[in-house]
Amino acid sequence: MRWSPLLAASLVACQPQAAPDYAAVFDGSAGRWVDLTHAFSESTIYWPTDTAGFELEELAFGPTEGGWFYASYAFSSAEHGGTHLDAPIHFAEGRLSTDQIPLSGLMGPAAVVDVSGRAHSDYLVSVDDLTSWEAEHGLLPDGGILLVRTGWSARWNDRAAYLGTDLVGSDAVAELHFPGIGAEAAEWLVANRGIIAVGIDTPSIDYGQSADFRAHVVLYAENISGFENVANLELLPATGSHVVALPMKIEGGSGGPLRIVAFVP
């Protein structure tokens, strides 16, 4: 019996297909997980006007009368400090609050645009940065998450170097210096690409000297969420990884502490 290529292909297509091996994503055999989150502690960096920072109060720690060990703490924090989510409502009235963002808006393929080789303390990510990346790696994916690596995460343990000032309170705001996303780049993303979120390894998606927070306003008006103070972006490839970003689900919130991770096949 002679087999035609068409018949052979048809028979192959009719064979039962193996189910995806989802377990391999979680047991380490299909890739690796990368934590993109700075730990919260008394040294966590907050916006200078959030002077309380992160507070952890010990409620219990040690052996109990019943013979077992027991530890419990209370914590307090502003929404927008450390590695955190900006919900769209943070800068766009009527847009999604923290609890309203669907899971589909918090996970997706990652595109890591690395400007660390040229970023300076007042650097603005430009349309050219984005189109140059696309010329090498392909279009930013629809339903994807744009992660901007400026290299600022390496300064995390030096507050003055990270923020551009060691001042606190309202007087510090005018002294902030760190890179961010330019307004033109934000407008180009909204007009031309279908990303669901943008993350950056600085305190804000707008640069430190911004007076109008245009990147926030432009992106969040389209229900594109923001992830700020992201860590370890140097461990991700330009393409091919997938991000899961799960914030504390605060009803009506404008943001919240975020545990963000990436899977690299």
C-alpha distances (whole Å) from 258 to each of 54, 91, 175 are: 14, 18, 26
Token pair 């594109």: residue: 224
Least confident span in 1-10, 37-46, 82-91: 1-10
Give me the phi and psi of 147, to 5 degrees please: -115, 125
Separation of alpha carbons 83 and 202, rounded Å? 9
pLDDT in tens, 99-144: 999 999 999 999 999 999 999 999 999 999 999 999 999 999 999 9
Residue reference for tokens 């690596």: 149
Identify how many contiguous H helices and E strands the chain contains and give both numbers. 6, 12
User: What pLDDT digit, counting tens, does each position of 203-212 carry?
Assistant: 999 999 999 9
Q: Using CA atoms, how far apart are residues 133 and 175, in angstroms rounded to an integer?
A: 31
d(CA 185, CA 140): 13
- What residue ranges define each of the domains in the chain, with the CATH number in brackets? 32-43+78-264 (3.50.30.50)
Query: Pairing relation of β-strands 255-264 and 32-35?
Result: antiparallel
> Residue 1: pLDDT band by 50, 70, 90 thresholds?
very low
Question: For residue 12, what is the enclosing H or E element?
Answer: helix 5-14
Whole-structure pTM value: 0.92
Residues in the chain: 265
Checking if the pLDDT of 182 tops 50, the result is: yes
Residues with active-site annotation = 90
114: nearest Cα among 207, 250, 238, 223:
238
The 10s digit of each residue's pLDDT in 10-52 is 444 556 677 778 899 988 899 999 999 999 999 999 999 999 9
> String of b and e for 158-167 (b: at least 16 CB within 10 Å)?
ebebbbbbee
**Residue 171: pLDDT band by 50, 70, 90 thresholds?**
very high
- pLDDT tens across 228-237, in order? 999 999 999 9
Residues contacting 33, CB < 8 A, separation 6+: 261, 262, 263, 264
Measured between its terminal Cα atoms, the distance across the chain in Å is 43
Signed CA dihedral, 106, 107, 112, 113: sign only: negative
